[in-house]
Structure formats: structure tokens, C-alpha cells
Structure 1
């Protein structure tokens, strides 16, 4: 083997090794996140290439917004997420120039346009942040933005089967409407949430607790509003179901517990080898890898008495995997066309100059890496529990995740007051 050929092969090996995936690049950021070092994670994010690369503008805002949100800096978190949402909206129709560039090199060189579930979660988490900051009106605005994005994606068949794992957006909207005393709107939203958890028989067991909670809220408000047809439907399917009277609840205070559990799966590259006649080519496509965690629910105590466990209202991990699966066939076809075009060009160049052909082939292999960019700071599930408490009285509320330390609160609420308590765990 000549020195030049050996040198090119050695360079290729080094280049391939240097081409770290996004998941690998932000590992240190996630390591700080998983142990609750939010400020340190934010500093590393600010110092990373993600903060300066224009093609990653939206992704940087997603990650930064979550780190701010976890620190309770809700206005700044929303500002970051709104900027990302606007960027993704602008990129919804990709320019011809960017499409051409991504075809020639690889998908990670193009602007990050977000997965279907990520686009919906941007305004949804913004809605939670507004509500946590006692701004119910803007919380409602963000929920409506969530619905607009869902309709847009479903019209393009990009949300197919993704949103069946999301009852939370409608359920949370119902809670916000209750806070604003818009009872009929709340009923509509709870019924939409119920339709989601019933949309697929395969997931009924996973969302069974959510279904019961939603039915209780529908029944409570339907009884209060004298909606006999709704009550009749509930009683036919669940004759033994009972709920707190809404008139009694109005005299009390209420705590909304939102538990964000675990870590959303992250993307890793998966290689597929395809024969092309004279040779074989490697296609690299992302797939999601689960991040293990143990605390899958949290138990709530009021004055040391157990009230119940949080129930899953949204499975972000399943939404992510379904979103990627929805575009797999389309994207693999695009990637295959690009790789084959690179291979043909390299072989033609090799016919004229063997060394140049080898260099082109090395470049093709080295640059054909899966786009593993994703919103890595997301939780795996969002869970909810509602707790009614006596007003004008100091209450001790304890949140106990399965394998995490108990978090204690002392609350004293006015009659009719609603308070949001949110909790995130990683292990």
C-alpha cells in the first residue's frame, strides 16, 4: 500500500471517529441535568457549538428553555421556547437551497426542524410555565397554539398515531378553564382528553388510571351543569364511579400536582448496509435509545396521609418513537438516494484518478452520519394528581417519588384558590 493511500485511509478513520453524534456531544450537559445541576448544564450549553450554529437555533432554544424552566425561571423559559417555535414555524416549508445542501452532505447539516412531538411540546410546556407563574390567560393562548400545530401536522400526516399518547394537553387545558370558571369549556377539553386515552385499545391499560380521573372530572362538572346526557353515558359504562361534588369543591382549595418523570429517550445512529450493484453503501438512520430510570410515579401525602399516586397523562417517550417511525420510510428513501449518488460520483472519479476516487469515497463514508439531534432535556412522561384541601389552613403536602427523596411543602390557600406544584425527577 502506498503512503498516500495509507494516509488517506488513516485520515478517514480519524474523521469518522471525530464525527460524534449530537447525543454524544451533549452528554456532559445531560450528565449535569440528571443530577439536578441545572445552572452548570446551562453554562455548558451556552459554551457549546449549539449556541452559535445557525442550523441549530431552534434546538438550542428548546434545550435552554427547559434548563431555565427547571430553575423556575418561567418568563425566560417561555421566551426561549417562543423563539424556537417561531423558527420551526418558519422552517415548516424548507427552502430549496437548504434541501439541496442536506442532500449533498447529510441531514445534520440542514436546519433542525423538530420532530412532531417536539413542535407540540414547545407551546405546551410554555402553557405550564405561564400557569405556574399565575398567568392563566397566556396559558390558554399557548394551549391553543398547541392545537393549531397538531392540526397542521395531522393535515400533513406527520402526527399520525403520535398524539394518541397525549391526553395531557387537553386535560391541562381543562384545568386552566376550571381556574377561570369556564365550566363548559373545561368539559369539552376533558372529553377530548378522554377520547385520546380511548383512541387505541393497546394503550388502554397504560392509561386506565388517567381514564378514571378524567371521567370523574367530567362527571363532577356535568352534574354541576346539569348535563344529563353526559352523566347517562358515564353511568352506563361506569355505574359504580363516584366523584366529589363540585359545589363542595368550590368551597375548598385545590392543588394541581404535575410530575415530570424520567428522561425522554435520545437518538443514536443505526447503520444499514445496502448493495448497489458494484459495491455496497452504508445508510445511517437515527433510532431512539431509552434512558433508564426507576421512579415511574409519585405518591402524594396530605398531613402524612396518603391521597394517591400520580397518573400518566402523556407518554413523551412513546410519542418520540412514533414520530420517528412515521417518517422512517420516507427518510430512508431520501438518504439512500443521496448515498447512492455519492457512491456513483466517487466511482466515476475513481475511473479517472484512483486516488481521487478513494478520497471521494472516504469523504462519502465519513460524512454519511445519522442526524441524532433531538430535544434531550425532555422528561419521559407527564403525570397529574389533583388534591382538594381545606382553605385558610396550613397544610403539609409531601411528594414522594418511588426512588427519590420526599419533597415537602407547606401551603395555605384561600377558598377556591388553585395552586400548581410541579416536580421533575431523573432516576
Structure 2
């Protein structure tokens, strides 16, 4: 028992020290000045606030700092600098967590917010999107193609980890669409077709052809059928015409080529803390379950972190609080848009939703709720057992352990907050030479028109525009 006492004296002292600065605020609070400047389009000020932010300098937040700096530089049009940060973020993810044992110990004894941030699965894939866009803006097509290949590797890795793919985020349709655009920009229509086909199949596997609240884009359908036609893949063309319920009609290519416009709208949701209250109950001999007061949630007791008799020792324990993250959606200023080319009287080209990051965030958190809540509850059980054991020998230290549990029961509210709420895109034909595109955004508060200049060069180009207002 003296060994337990000594361990908890050390853990108590360290944990109290590191939790005092963060015990009453969320991640959004910690980066508030940066986030406020970013959301109002003051990108230079946002970059300055990032450099001044001490919280993001903690080693556990390194990935977040790199992603935020990469995104801010992207918004400033500093594409080369942006990729320096994103490449470092990529390398960080490839190396994986260092000191894993210590990292996991902090997560168990203190809370997950003290662990190194490892990124959401969709955040990792979006790093490739930004890197590819940066390379395309810099006319470094070969480097963009490398990112296209890495999208495949990332999707394979995601598929391997999600063995049960039913209603799980195991492939990213937008990443595959982006991959196809990159290959087309490099003149590789065969690989572009494969990417468009794979993206289309992701949508078609869904009962309503909608993927995380994103309907299958008409532009994706057109790109798939067009590349199949151009490559002479008549069997594939007929198959997908039938599956999509549309007939492909070839159109004359524009002399100036085309441009794909990406519009990033709004801001991704932020994480806040959500409190649950649980007790432990026995449903059959040795079958211990955590349940909430109205018994609408039952989560099996995970004995991996505790001894085999832990359930018996915790039975009858008073209800205890568990902190778990939840997302809060950020309001949208604009809800739609279209593009007009060269001030002509042609029908405006609509901007289509291609990735709903807001929905992805909510859905993927819900998908892993039971698994992560089970781990969170097991962590609380470890704390409660330690409190119970320590109290037997030292009432004061036992009360201190209880205080530690209260102070350190925090949800991990970190996420990549400069991501957009939704990404839209449109493919626009160009004439040779100068082109003026009018991008009109619409919403309940009115419309806004932005002019974008593009020189038609006969190839496929990409440009982007961000409207990150949160109110």
C-alpha cells in the first residue's frame, strides 16, 4: 500500500500543477484572439496571434499549431510557407506519438487533453487537400501528384483501421474528387477516371447517394462520364450512365481550358465540454455496466485498465461525473453561391457542396462515442479505485485524490478550428487569355460578389476563395 501512496502523491502533485492553467477553459477559449481575428478575415493579425499564443506552444499541441499556421499562411496566399508547416505536420503524423507510454499514462491518470493531439481522421486527409492546392497555385504539378498518391495511401490506411465499415468514416469522397482533379491537371486522364469512379462509388454505396450530408455532385458525375468517354471506356460509360440515371453528351472543349473554383464557407464546429453522470451496475454475474440515471445508455465495463475484481469494488458507488467533448456548430453567414464568367448573359454556374466538414465532425464523433466513452469511464474507475484504496490508509490523501479527480476531469476540446464549415466547388470554362469570374455568395444577411481574375492557358487550373465569417 505504501507503493500506491507514493505513486499517488507524485501523480497528485504533478497533475495539480499542470491542470491549474487549463481547468476552466476550452481549447476555443485558449485560442480566442487568434480565432476571432481569423473569423473576421484579419489573416495577418491571426498569424501574429498564433505566434504569441503560449498554449499552442505546449508540445502536446504541436500538430494543432502546425495545422493552424499552415492554414493561416494558405489564407494569406503564402503557399510555399503554408506547405512548410503542412509538410512538418505530415512528418509529425508519420512519426507517430513519442513517449507513448507516458502519453497514455497522462490520458488515464489526468485527462486526454494532456496527451499529444493526434488529429481527427478527416483532418489528416484535409492536410493533403491544402498541400495539393498550394502546389497547384505554385505550378508545382509533380508535387501535387505526389499528394494525389498519398491520398490513396491515407484512404487505404483508414480502410484498414475501420474493419467494420458499416456507417463508419472509412473513405473520403472529397479526397478522391480532389485526387481526380490533381491527375487531370497533370494530364493523367486514366488515373483521373479511376479517382472519379472511386469517389462516385462512395456515394452510390449510400442508400440515398448522399455522403455525410453531401449529395453526389453533378460535376463529379460529369467528370466521371467525360473521362470514361474520352478514354474509350464504353462499358464503364454505359454502366455509370445507368447507375446515375443520365446520358453523357460530349461538349466542345474551351480554348482557354477550365478552372476549378473551391469556395470554403464558414468555420468548422468547435468542441465544448459535455457532462454525463454514471453509476455502475451488474447485469448478470460479473457483467458490470456503466449506466446513466435514466438508464438509456449501457456501456460494458472495460477491465483492461483495472483488476478483475474492480467491478465488485465499484458496485454501489455513488453517481460520478464524466466529461466528454461535443461539437457546437458555428452559424453560417452565406448558404449558397454561383459563378458568372466574363460578365456574359450565360446561365450562372452553381457552386456545389463537395465536403460538409461540419457534418463529418458531428458524425465521426458519434461513431466512436461508445468506444471512447468506455475508455473515459474506465479512466474514472481507475481514479475512483485509487481514491478508495488511498482512503483506507490516509483519509487526507484520499480526499486530495478525490480533489484531483474533480479538477482533472476535463474533456479534450481540441480540434482544427480554422477548417471551413463546408467546401463547395464548380468547374468553369475559360477563353484564351484574361477571364473575369464573378463569384456571388448569398445568405440571409444579403449577397456578396467577389471578382476573380484567371488567365486561360488551355489546361485545368484551380483557385480558391474563403468566407470564414461566423456571424
Q: TM-score, normalised by structure 2?
A: 0.81
1:421 matched to 2:463: yes
**Which SS does the other structure have where 1:419 is aligned?**
strand
Corresponding residue of 1:397: 437
Q: Post-superposition shift, 1:17?
A: 8.5
CA gap of 1:96–1:208, structure 2 versus 1, over 3 A, is closer
Question: Does the CA-based 8 Å contact 1:121-1:146 persist in structure 2?
Answer: no
Corresponding residue of 1:225: 231
1:278 matched to 2:282: no
Q: Deviations over 1:143-180 (max 9, x none)?
A: 22222122112212289445478322222222222222
Q: Post-superposition shift, 1:238?
A: 5.2
Corresponding residue of 2:206: 200
Counterpart CA distance in 1 for 2:57 and 2:37 is: 21
**Which SS does the other structure have where 1:267 is aligned?**
strand
5+ unaligned residues in a row in structure 2: which ranges? 1-15, 280-313
**Which SS does the other structure have where 2:67 is aligned?**
helix
1:127 matched to 2:132: yes
Structure 1 ranges of 4+ moved more than 6 A:
none
Counterpart CA distance in 1 for 2:391 and 2:215 is: 61
CA gap of 1:179–1:44, structure 2 versus 1, over 3 A, is same
Question: Does the CA-based 8 Å contact 1:307-1:387 persist in structure 2?
Answer: no
1:179 matched to 2:179: no
Counterpart CA distance in 2 for 1:340 and 1:52 is: 32
Corresponding residue of 1:146: 151
Question: Does the CA-based 8 Å contact 2:155-2:172 persist in structure 1?
Answer: no
**Which SS does the other structure have where 2:253 is aligned?**
helix
My pick for the range that moved more, 266-275 or 21-30, is 21-30
For residues 52-71 of structure 1, the aligned pairs below 5 Å read 52-71=57-76
CA gap of 1:423–1:357, structure 2 versus 1, over 3 A, is same
Counterpart CA distance in 1 for 2:215 and 2:111 is: 43
Q: Post-superposition shift, 1:426?
A: 2.0
Counterpart CA distance in 2 for 1:313 and 1:176 is: 16
Question: Does the CA-based 8 Å contact 1:177-1:185 persist in structure 2?
Answer: yes
Question: Does the CA-based 8 Å contact 1:165-1:318 persist in structure 2?
Answer: no
1:109 matched to 2:114: yes
**Which SS does the other structure have where 1:213 is aligned?**
helix
**Which SS does the other structure have where 2:348 is aligned?**
strand
**Which SS does the other structure have where 1:314 is aligned?**
strand
1:95 matched to 2:100: yes
Q: Post-superposition shift, 1:73?
A: 0.9
**Which SS does the other structure have where 1:379 is aligned?**
coil
Q: Post-superposition shift, 1:189?
A: 1.0
5+ unaligned residues in a row in structure 1: which ranges? 1-10
CA gap of 1:318–1:164, structure 2 versus 1, over 3 A, is farther
2:371 aligns with one of 330, 341, 358: 330
Corresponding residue of 2:289: none
2:255 aligns with one of 251, 254, 264: 251
Question: Does the CA-based 8 Å contact 2:261-2:462 persist in structure 1?
Answer: yes
Corresponding residue of 2:425: 384
CA gap of 1:185–1:172, structure 2 versus 1, over 3 A, is same
Question: Does the CA-based 8 Å contact 1:68-1:77 persist in structure 2?
Answer: yes
Question: Does the CA-based 8 Å contact 2:258-2:460 persist in structure 1?
Answer: yes
Counterpart CA distance in 2 for 1:31 and 1:263 is: 11
2:195 aligns with one of 189, 208, 211: 189
1:371 matched to 2:412: yes
Counterpart CA distance in 1 for 2:392 and 2:417 is: 44
Equivalences, count: 411
Counterpart CA distance in 2 for 1:297 and 1:165 is: 26
Q: Deviations over 1:172-208 (max 9, x none)?
A: 2222222222121111111111112222124539544
CA gap of 1:311–1:390, structure 2 versus 1, over 3 A, is same
Q: Deviations over 1:360-384 (max 9, x none)?
A: 2111111110011111110122211
Corresponding residue of 2:34: 29
Corresponding residue of 1:170: 176
**Which SS does the other structure have where 1:376 is aligned?**
coil
Q: TM-score, normalised by structure 1?
A: 0.88
**Which SS does the other structure have where 1:236 is aligned?**
helix
**Which SS does the other structure have where 1:398 is aligned?**
strand
Q: Post-superposition shift, 1:209?
A: 5.5
